[in-house]
Structure 1
Amino acid sequence: MRIKELHIRNIASIEKGDIDFENGLRDAISGEVAPLFLISGDTGAGKTVLLDCIAMALYKKTPRLDGVTNVTRNEYVNTEGETLRVASIEQYTRLGISERDECYSEVVFEGNDGSTYRARLSLGMQRGRKQLKHRPAKWTVKKDGDDWTAGTTEVAHVIQRAVGLTFEQFGRMAMLAQGQFASFLIGGKAEREAILEQLTNTERFSLYGVAIKSLFDKANAAYKQTQAEYDTEKTHILEPKEKEALRERRAQLASEQKELDTRIRLNEERVALVDTIEKSREASKAAQEELARLDAIVNGESYKADWAFIHTWDSTTAQRQTLVQLREAREKRENALRKEPAYRETFDRLSADLAQREADIRSLSDEIERSRRWFEERKEWEPIYGKSGEIIQKICQYENYAKEIETLAEQITAETARTAEWKAAVAEATEAARQAYRAVSSKQEEIDALSQKRTEMDPVRINRELDSANKRHTRLEQLWQTLSGIEEDTAEVARLDEAIQQQEQELSTLHTTRIQAEAARQSARERDEKANNLLHTMRTSLEEYLVVLRKRLIAEKADTCPLCGQPIERISLDKDFEVALTPLEKEKKATGAALAHANAVYEEASRKENTASGILRTQKEARTKQDHKIALARAKALDTARELGLDTERPLPPQASAALDSTGEIIARLKARQKEAEDLQTRVNRLLEEKKPLETHKNAAERNKAEADKRLAANEQRILQFRAQKEKDERTSADLVAEISSIVGRSLPGWEKDTTGTKETISQGANEYANHQKELDTATLRLEKAQAATRTIRNTRDKILQSHADWNAPISPEIYACEDINEAWTHLFAKVDATMRTIHECAQKITDSVSALNAYYATSGMTEAALETLIARENELAEARRRVNDIQAHRTSRRDAIADARKRIEEASLKLGIADERETPDLQLLREEKAALSQARDQLLSQIASIDGKLEEDRRNEERFRQIAARLEATRKNYDKWDRLNKRFGGTRFRTLVQSYILRPLLNNANIYLARITDRYKLTCSEENEQLSILVLDRYNKDQVRSATVLSGGERFMISLALSLALSSLNRPDMNVDILFIDEGFGTLDEKSLDSVMSTLERLQEIAGQNGRRVGVISHREELDERIPVQIRVVKKGEGRSRVEFSGIALPSQAPHA
């Protein structure tokens, strides 16, 4: 991704800013794109706002807002009464703007696909009911020449695909924010883990760890739950014997049910047959009575009259239909004839409208011919009017170029006057720089002389020899301590031997005591068991005997117990024979106490023996360890003595003492020489301090000279640029004059003398020409439509006259008011045509009907009046027909009912085996028998259902038990699997493991940058780095390792910068941003450290493959103004407003051409 341009309008404090990162930030001397540029300005001017604007245009959020916590409930109310969230992007709207002011941030960038994109976030104010309020943010993006895309989801998708980075990735790849790594260096483990998670995309490993822990918890819960179900379900399964007994009982009940079902079925059959006989007898008697009543009705006069009416009606169906059709045809023809006059009137009015339309067409044709003659008269102006807008635009360009040429001439004159002033300033700065250089060189010669003397002393060799002597002295001291320790350990061995002998004697005595106590305990146990057995036997025998005896007395209905004389119901077994058992219980109590005492004596003897044995074992182990320790110490002492050059055949303590004294003298001499070298270095350092102000003066003089050279070069460059631009504008102006004259020269000669009048003449003429053209087009279209409509109407009128020729008569033109004249003619034609067809059809139908009816009257003797009377009684026909049909149907139904009843009685009697109806069984007795049998069967079915329910429940329980057992095995295996994974990777373990592997290569990469900044420090970490700690190796203090928390602010900044650059250089090609913005604390650095940091940034492209990458530094330190010539300055204008200016950049004509 390449950031090309940034455009800002009223965002935060910046009122307006347009930055061309691609072509605008070029060095004024070389004209090349500056690899390093500075973003400077006073505190609060809005330097960091530039980074916020880039972020908000690309991601609709900024690093500052992204760090706000408790976003949902963190709000405030502004002075206008509007409630805003602390994390809302609308806060970036500049205070004090109106609803008409623009407010947006727009970034132009080249995506990974090579296309150019524009991402814009628009803010602003809008007018509410009573006051101004913030307008909701609008986020849009467009690609090359495509339309703008809106919608948060759609815009985010387009930008993510083009940039290839999320907001967090972009923040750490392109923007190194203030203090981002300071907390990482000195924070706790949790803080480092959170930062590393954001910087290295290891949050997914956190999610993996949480997921593994969650799955383990679920597996554990499932395993415990299934185990509980398994234990519970196991108790619900019946024993095999219980199930077998239930099955046998069910088989017995099923056999009894089958027998009852047979008896019930036979009873139900007899009940049904007897019931059928009785019901059939009643039905036969009722049918015979109803049949006699219906026969009497059939022989009456009313029935006969109905039958004659129906017969006559059915025989005249065709004649009645013909008579009805004749009446309808006559009436329909009369109605059609009555409509003809109205149709004639409508025809005449429509014909008058047609005559009027034809007259209008002739008038419109004359108007079109006049317009065409007007255009013919102005034919020579047509090319000018056709391009009027383009011609007027070119005349305006000609006027603008004339003004610009005049302005450039004035600028050239002003810049030429300043050239002598800049040349004098260059000469003065050159002389000052030469004098400052001589002063610095003189001081450097003194420093070099002292440094040479110190070098001849070879302090490195002195330090090496002193270090070697110190190491020998330390080893000699260690040898002396080892020899002293051997003497002490030998004395300790002798003491242990004496203590072991005494302990062995004491252990033998305690062992004998324990054997005696064990024998006494065994004897007491045997006596106690014998007494206990006797008491238990007596107690059990008495209880069992008395229980049996009492049951027998109760069974024989005795009143008094023969043993104690008490009533049977008041016998108490526990109290009656308590006296008989008392001697045995006392004996059992005594033996129990004796056994407890014997156990206590034995346990005490065993404890003392075990304690003595443990002490002896400990003493022997200590003796063995002491021997081993002495052997190792002697071997170590001999090895050390040989390494130190001592004679191992002679006693070592005297030799070690003498060597210590000799080494001490050597160390004293070397320290004296070291002190001398350090004094020389102190003098050199003092001279270096004296040299610093001289170098500062020299650097200032060189910068003044460079600035004067740069200003002179810029002055000359501006003169060249203005001249080149003036020549270019003059050529362009001449081309415009020639081009415009070729078009308007014939019609408007001398147009350039009055360009304003020329533009007005062309504009007015073009407008008039366009208006006439529009009127002509409108009239032509109206004529074509009118002619087409008239042709259609004329055709319809001719069709109507074909059937009504007498309607064609002269008529005066007149408009006919209607919505659609064609629809009116079509509707009239349809009605006239339909009416004529109706008249012809009705005449033919009248003739045919009259002929058919006359023939019927002649043959049947029926008159038209009789037929009319019959038709008039049509409403009586249905009722008469219903009465006749109902009577006949009822007679047939009653005869069939009598026959069916007799048949059912015969069939039932045959099945019952009776020949005489008087032998029919009693129906009530049969029903009582059926009720008793059904009750018995229901009881059997209830018992069978109960047994089936128990067996079915047991079957389901067994099936559930098998399923639960299978699930238990599966959940146990799943639990074991997730238990192993959770112990290795659950919770934060996975993320910490991954981050510990990422940290070391990151530190190695950071050390490449850190070595360019300072040679003192190197970053490292421990092998087992569970705390993710970063340690600092200090080369100036014998490579000692220490924590970053003790470093100064400047040292921490240098290390933080190295870490930042290391991380940003690890990007893939598709995850790169061409500019790295650094917004760190340069204010914590001293001048020397700042110089090292700036040198590293200037050579960033040469380090670790940072080819083609540029760096933007955000700072207000004045030293950076001198080191970084290309600058973007954010300048305060007052009232909370700032503007963006540029310094040290090349003018457009200075850019090198490809």
Structure 2
Amino acid sequence: MKIKELHIRNIASIEKGDIDFENGLRDAISGEKAPLFLISGDTGAGKTVILDCIAMALYKKTPRIEGVANSTKNDYVNAEGETLRVASLEQYTRLGISERDECYSEVRFEGNDGINYHARLSLGMQRGRKLLKHRSPKWEVKKGDADWIAGTTEVANTILQAVGLTFEQFGRMAMLAQGQFATFLTGNKTEREAILEQLTNTERFSKYGAAIKNLFDRAKTTCAQIQTEYDTEKAHILEKEEKETLITEQARLEAEKKDLETKIRQNEERLTLTTTLEKCRKDKASAQQALEQLEETANSESYRADTALVNGWDHTTVQRRTYTRMKEAHEKREEALAKEPLHRSLFNQLSADLALRKQEMRLQSDAIEKSNQWMAAHQHEEEIYGRSGEIIQKIHQYEDLLKNIQELASQIEAENRKTSPLKAAAEESRLAVEKATCEVNAKQQAIDTLSRQREAMNPASINQLLEQANQTYVSVRQLQQTLQAIEAATAETARLEKDIDEQEKNLASLHEEARKTEEALRSAKEKDEKANNLLHTMRTSLEEHLVTLRKRLITEQADTCPLCGQHIGHIHPDEDFKTVLTPLEKEKAATGEALNRANKVNEEAKRRLNTASGIFQTQKRQLAEQQKKIATAKENALHTALQSDMNPALPMMPQVETTIKNTDETIRQLKAKQQEAEELQRRIHRLLEEKRPLDATKTTADQTKVQADKALDVHTQRLHQLNERKEAEEQNASLLASDLTTLLARLMPDWQQDTAGTRQQLALASHEYNNRKKELDAATQRLLTMQTTTTAIDSARTHILRLHADWEMPVVPMAYTCRNINDEWTRLFAQTDATAQEIQECTHICTDCRNTLNEYYQTSGTTEASLIALMERENELLEARQRINLLQASITSRRDAIATAQKQQAEAMEKLGIREEQAIPDLTSLQEERTRLAQTRDQLLNALATANSKLEEDKRNQNKFNLIAAKLETAQKNLAKWDRLHARFGGTRFRTLVQSYILRPLLNNANIYLARITDRYKLTCSEENEQLAILVLDRYNKDQVRSVTVLSGGERFMISLALSLALSSLNRPDMNVDILFIDEGFGTLDEKSLDSVMSTLERLTEIAGQNGRRVGIISHREELDERINVQIRVVKKGEGRSRIELSGTMPG
């Protein structure tokens, strides 16, 4: 991204500030964009506020507020009684402003997509009930020329997509704020990992590591769970002997079960047959008794009466239907005869309506005849009346053309009066333009003259020569310091050589002393060894004799010792006896002490000799290193001297002092020329300021001339257009009048004398003609409709008279009210026709039915009265039929029951093997046997079920165990795989491994910057660098490697700056910021280190990874004022207010 502009209104101490980073920060001498600019001002003026304003507009955060601890529970009350959080953005509202004052920070920048964005954070005050209070921050963003977008989420997403950096990443890439230089250098592993993760996109490796750890933990948990299931299930499996015993027991119980089931089945069969036999005998006797009672009922009078009714009804089905049909036909014929008077009355009404319609039809025909006669009389005018609308429209057009011609003539006359004033104004504007052009050209010639003078001075060459002189001055100063260092180092070398000579003499005496102590130690060792051997021999022999003697005394049970004469109970212990009997031990102790003293003396002599040797070797190594260092320094000094055109054969220091003096004079002269160029630039600027109003006057005169010329041209074109329009209108009017005369020559030859009257007369005549024509067409259509209707009605009336000829009679014409007269006649015809047919059909049916019944009466000897009486008993028929059927079914059922009982009895006796006269088996004995067998079976089944249950459960357990064992094997293999991966890449190991490979090129990149600042230090790290630790190699101290924690403040700043620059250049393609702001940190540097740092920053764009990047330094050091021309000054105005001024820049 590119930061282009910053606009500040009443933020913190800055009252107003507008900074154009893209075009405003151009060097006043070279006119190019300043690669390095300074943000300066007194302490407390608000230099760092500029960084805060950029951050709050882009991220609604600032570096200072983000560093506040316990920000959510840390409030205070201000003087107005308002409660604010110590980490709130409202605190940036400048004190003392009113609710009407603007308060915002706005940044215009170009995003990674090449589109310009505006990001703004607005603060301010608002009026409460009594007092002013802070307004809540309002965050907005605008993309291109689109509308402002509000809402924290929407704004944050838009800016993040455009910039490609989070707040933390932006702080690392573009803002090296106060106190944050050494964060990466001296931070712990977690802090360095977080920074590298943000800048190098290694967060995905953290996710990979976490995923691997999760999979490992899951595999480990799964394996442990399955192992627990395995151990639990293994305990549930039966032993082999127990399982074989259960199988044998199961087979025995199955065999017993089979035999027992055979006995139970035989018992059940005999019990069932015996029960069936007794039941059959009882059922047979009961059914025989019921059958006898039913047969008595079948012979009773009531049964015979029911039988007669049912038979009589079933034999007269046809006759009863015939009688019913005849009766229904007679009733329908009577109903049809009753409808005919109504039909006749309706016929008479419709006939009267028909007579009226015929009368109206004759009148309509007479009126049509009269209309045809009128139309024939006006037939020759039909063409004009048919085109009346067109003719009237043309008359309107003719009237409009005449009116337009009159208006155009008036406009032409008015335009002719404007011609002279417009020509005079054009001439006056031309003279004014010529005068303004002369004045501008004169001023421009003066500007061009000064510009050529300034170009002749070649400001860019002056700047280049000044930079070269400064570099020469710095290198010669360094050469002077190097020569002084060589002189001091030479003195140090002489001192070391003297010390080495003295140390060499001391070593000789120490070697002699060590040799003597070594000989004394060897003599003491020989004496001690001799005494020790003698003591050991005597002690061993004595111990063996004492042991033998005491065993003997105990065996012989003696009271007195033959060796010492004491009672056996008063013999000394072994230790006392040995001390008394061994005087050699004193000699051994004396030789031991002598040996210890000799050993200590010898070790002390060796220690002094080793110490002196170490000091001697160290001094010799230091001497060699110092001599090498002096040689290198002399070589570098010689190289620098040759570059500075010095004579190596002559003394260096006078030449250096002369060169410094000459270079200083050269710098002074170049700065004078630089100031002269700046003075010329200021004079050019003043002339440009003087030329600006002349340019404005010329622009105004040009615009006035253009407007006057344009007005004259417009006037001329308009006059020409009006004349052309007038001629065209007159031609159109002439053609239109000719057409109208041709059309109206016979009917209205004088139409032009009164065009309005002609239009009105033509419209009335045409209207009358068209109305009469429409009325004639309508009347003709109505007559046709009446004729069609009358014809249809006559046809229907004729058909009705064919059925009822007696209905014909004269009628008086009268209207009949209905919706459709045709439907009424059609409906009447259908009704009369249907009624006639129904009467005829019913008469025929009655005749046929009567003949059939008479024939039945004669044949059967039955009368019509008996048939009617039978039909009247229809309601008794159902009950009679049910009684008959029920009795017959009962008789049949009892007979079947007797036969079935006899058959079942015979079958049971046959199966039991007994005859009719024999007794049946005892039922009670059979039931007792069944109970006993059932109990035995239950016991057997329980035992069998127990054995089967154990075996089935063992089978299930075995299958489950096999499955768990297979799962355990798979889980163990999976765990072994993830264990190997987790040991190498799990957790943060993967990210640390990747970052450890990234750290070394990062340090190499940092060393590029560090080498340009100082040649003393180089950053490095260990080979196995799991902690991502950074070490410093000190070239001035024999390339010793040490920790960064022991560095001084200035050293730490230089190394941290180099590392920060490397970090800011170690970015992804979507993480570019064109400006790097460095806030303070220069106060810890001495003049030489400051020169090196500034030289590096000035050449930052030439170093890899920083192409096109600019640097803004925030500092109040006076030395930077002299070195950096382009400056943004924050100037105090008093009362806590500041303003922003630009210095050393091209005039805007």
TM-score normalized by structure 1? 0.55
How much is the aligned-residue C-alpha RMSD, in angstroms? 7.5
State the alpha-carbon separation in 2 of the partners of residues 884 and 20 from structure 1.
124
2:553 corresponds to which residue?
A: none
Q: Is the 8 A contact 1:165 1:1071 kept in 2?
A: yes
* CA 924–1014 in structure 1, closer or farther in 2 if over 3 Å, else same: same
Equivalent position SS for 1:1076: strand
Query: Matched residue of 1:1050: which SS?
Result: helix
Does 299-308 or 1049-1058 show the bigger shift?
299-308
Are 2:843 and 1:858 equivalent residues in the alignment? yes
| Cross-structure match for 1:714 | 685
Report whether the alignment pairs 1:1099 with 2:1099.
Answer: yes
Note if contact 1:5-1:19 (Cα within 8 Å) is conserved in structure 2: yes
Contact 1:99–1:132 (Cα < 8 Å) also in 2? no
Displacement after TM superposition at 1:63 (Å): 4.4
Letter of the structure 1 residue corresponding to residue 839 of structure 2: N
State how far apart, in whole Å, the 2-side matches of 1:200 and 1:485 are: 63
Q: 1:119 to 1:843 in 2, by over 3 A?
A: farther
Q: Does 1:108 find its partner at 2:109?
A: yes
Shift of residue 1087, structure 1, vs aligned partner: 4.6
Counterpart of 1:542 in structure 2 is none
Quote the offset at 1:156 in angstroms: 6.4
Corresponding residue for residue 591 of structure 1: none
Give 1:1058 deviation, angstroms: 1.0
Q: 1:98 to 1:890 in 2, by over 3 A?
A: farther
Q: CA deviation at 1:1101?
A: 1.0
Change over 3 Å in CA distance of 1:244–1:707 after alignment to 2: same
| 2:941 match: secondary structure | helix
Aligned mates of 2:1124, 2:1035 — CA distance in 1: 31
1:1115: Cα distance to partner?
A: 3.5
Residue 1054 (structure 2) pairs with residue 1058 (structure 1): no
Q: Counterpart of 1:178 in 2: which secondary structure?
A: coil
What amino acid sits opposite 1:1126 in the alignment?
A: V
Contact between 1:4 and 1:110, CA under 8 Å: does it hold in 2?
Answer: no
TM-score normalised over the length of structure 2: 0.56
Distance 1:32 1:860, change over 3 A: same
Which structure has the larger Rg over C-alpha atoms? Answer: 2
Q: After TM superposition, give the deviation of residue 247 of structure 1 in Å.
A: 1.6
What SS class does the counterpart of residue 1076 from structure 2 fall into? Answer: strand
Shift, 1:499, TM fit: 6.7
What is the distance in 1 between the residues matched to 2:712 and 2:881? 113
Aligned-partner Cα distance in 2 for 1:104–1:888: 116
1:950 aligns with 2:950: yes
Q: SS where residue 1146 of structure 1 aligns?
A: coil
Please tell me the residue identity of whatever aligns with 1:116: I
Note if contact 2:122-2:138 (Cα within 8 Å) is conserved in structure 1.
yes
Residues 245, 278 of structure 1: alpha-carbon distance in 2 compared, 3 angstrom cutoff: farther
- Which residue of structure 2 lines up, in the alignment, with residue 537 of structure 1? none
Give CA deviations for 1:1045-1091 in whole Å, capped at 9, x if unaligned.
Answer: 34443332222211111122233445433332323433444454434
The answer to whether the Cα contact below 8 Å between 1:23 and 1:33 also exists between their aligned partners in 2 is yes
Unaligned 5+ residue runs, structure 1? 338-361, 385-400, 521-600, 602-618, 645-655, 750-793, 809-831, 864-875, 1149-1154
1:473-492 matched pairs, under 5 angstroms = none
**What are the residue-to-residue correspondences of 1:812-891 with 2, within 5 Å?**
846=831, 850-851=835-836, 853-861=838-846
Q: 1:1124 to 1:684 in 2, by over 3 A?
A: same
Q: Hey, what does 2:1045 align to over in structure 1? A: 1045
| 1:912 aligned onto 2:908 | yes
Displacement of 1:258: 3.7
Contact 1:5–1:108 (8 Å) recurs in 2: yes
2:103–2:124 CA contact under 8 A, matched in 1: no
Cα pair 1:178 1:1079 within 8 Å, conserved: yes
Go from structure 1 to structure 2 and tell me whether the alpha carbon gap of 1:53 and 1:457 turns closer, same or farther (over 3 Å shift): closer
Q: Which amino acid aligns with 2:243?
A: K
Distance apart, 1:215 and its partner CA: 5.2
Q: Is the 8 A contact 2:330 2:843 kept in 1?
A: no
- Aligned residue number for residue 1082 of structure 1: 1082
Counterpart of 1:182 in structure 2: which amino acid? A
Q: Secondary structure at the match of 1:1112?
A: strand
**Mapping of 1:683-702 within 5 angstroms?**
none
Change (3 A) 1:1145 1:693: closer
Is the 8 Å Cα contact of residues 177 and 1078 (structure 1) preserved in structure 2?
Answer: yes
Residue 154 and residue 183 in structure 1: after superposition, are their counterparts in 2 closer, same or farther (change >3 A)? closer
1:1056 is matched by which residue type in structure 2? Answer: S
Post-superposition offset of 1:955 = 2.2
Separation in structure 1 between the aligned mates of residue 818 and residue 1116 of structure 2, nearest angstrom: 100
Cα distance, 1:1099–1:100 mapped onto 2, change above 3 Å: closer
Which amino acid is 1:31 matched to?
Answer: G
Aligned AA (1:109): E
Deviations 1:1014-1070 (A, max 9, x none): 344433445555554434444555655554334443332222211111122233445
The 5 Å alignment of 1:187-586 reads: 187-189=187-189, 191-205=191-205, 217-262=217-262, 502=532
**Aligned CA distance change for structure 1 residues 240 and 217 (closer, same or farther; 3 Å):** same
Judging changes above 3 Å, is the alpha-carbon distance between structure 1 residues 460 and 1033 closer, same or farther for their aligned structure 2 residues?
same
Supply the AA of the counterpart residue of 1:965. Answer: A
1:511 is displaced (CA, Å) by 14
Alpha-carbon distance in 1 for matches of 2:925, 2:231: 59
Give the letter aligned to residue 108 of structure 1. F
Matched position secondary structure for 1:1077? strand
Number of the residue aligned with 2:416: none
Tell me how far apart the structure 2 counterparts of residues 1115 and 920 of structure 1 sit (CA, whole Å).
133
Give the stretch that moved more between structures: 490-499 or 197-206.
490-499
Q: Is the 8 A contact 1:8 1:53 kept in 2?
A: yes
* Cα-to-partner distance string for 1:558-582 (whole Å, 9 max, x where unaligned): xxxxxxxxxxxxxxxxxxxxxxxxx
Structure 1 residue aligned with 2:961: 961
1:239 Cα deviation from its structure 2 partner:
0.9
Instruction: Name 1:1013's counterpart in structure 2.
Output: 1013
Equivalent residues of 2:4, 2:109 under 8 A apart: yes
Report if aligned partners of 1:3, 1:1075 keep a CA contact under 8 Å in 2. Answer: yes
Task: Confirm or deny: 8 A CA contact 2:200 2:1067 kept in the other structure.
Answer: no
Any idea what SS the aligned residue of 2:946 has? helix
d(CA) in 1 for partners of 2:983 and 2:541?
A: 49
Aligned to 1:557: none
Q: Who is 2:423 aligned against?
A: none
| Residue 26 (structure 2) aligns with | 26
Question: What amino acid sits opposite 1:999 in the alignment?
Answer: L
Report how far residue 7 of structure 1 moved: 5.7
Residue identity opposite 1:912 in structure 2: A
CA distance in 1, matches of 2:511, 2:305: 151
Inter-CA distance 121–373: structure 2 relative to 1 (3 Å threshold):
farther
Question: How do 1:125-140 residues align onto structure 2 when only pairs under 5 Å count?
Answer: none
Residues 183 and 1106 of structure 1, relative CA distance in 2, 3 Å threshold: closer
CA gap of 1:204–1:1145, structure 2 versus 1, over 3 A, is same
Number of residue pairs matched? 860
Quick check: 1:176 aligned with 2:176?
A: yes
Gaps of 5+ in 2: 350-387, 412-428, 551-573, 575-591, 638-650, 721-774, 790-816, 849-871
Checking the alignment, whether the CA contact within 8 Å between 1:297 and 1:303 is kept in structure 2 is no
Q: Is the contact made by 2:219 and 2:975 (CA closer than 8 Å) also made in structure 1? A: yes
By how many angstroms is 1:1102 displaced? 1.4
Shift of 1:243: 0.8
Query: Alpha-carbon deviation of 1:245?
Result: 1.3
> Structure 1 stretch 281-290 or stretch 252-261: which is displaced more?
281-290
CA offset at residue 3 of structure 1? 3.8
Q: 1:1020/1:221 Cα in 2 relative to 1: closer, same or farther (>3 Å)?
A: same
Q: Kindly indicate whether the alpha-carbon contact (under 8 Å) linking 1:412 and 1:719 is maintained by their aligned counterparts in 2.
A: no
1-structure distance, mates of 2:399, 2:1061: 81
TM-superposed deviation, 1:242 = 0.7
1:122–1:189: structure 2 CA closer, same or farther, 3 Å change rule? Answer: closer
**CA deviation map 1:519-577 (0-9, x unaligned):** x9xxxxxxxxxxxxxxxxxxxxxxxxxxxxxxxxxxxxxxxxxxxxxxxxxxxxxxxxx
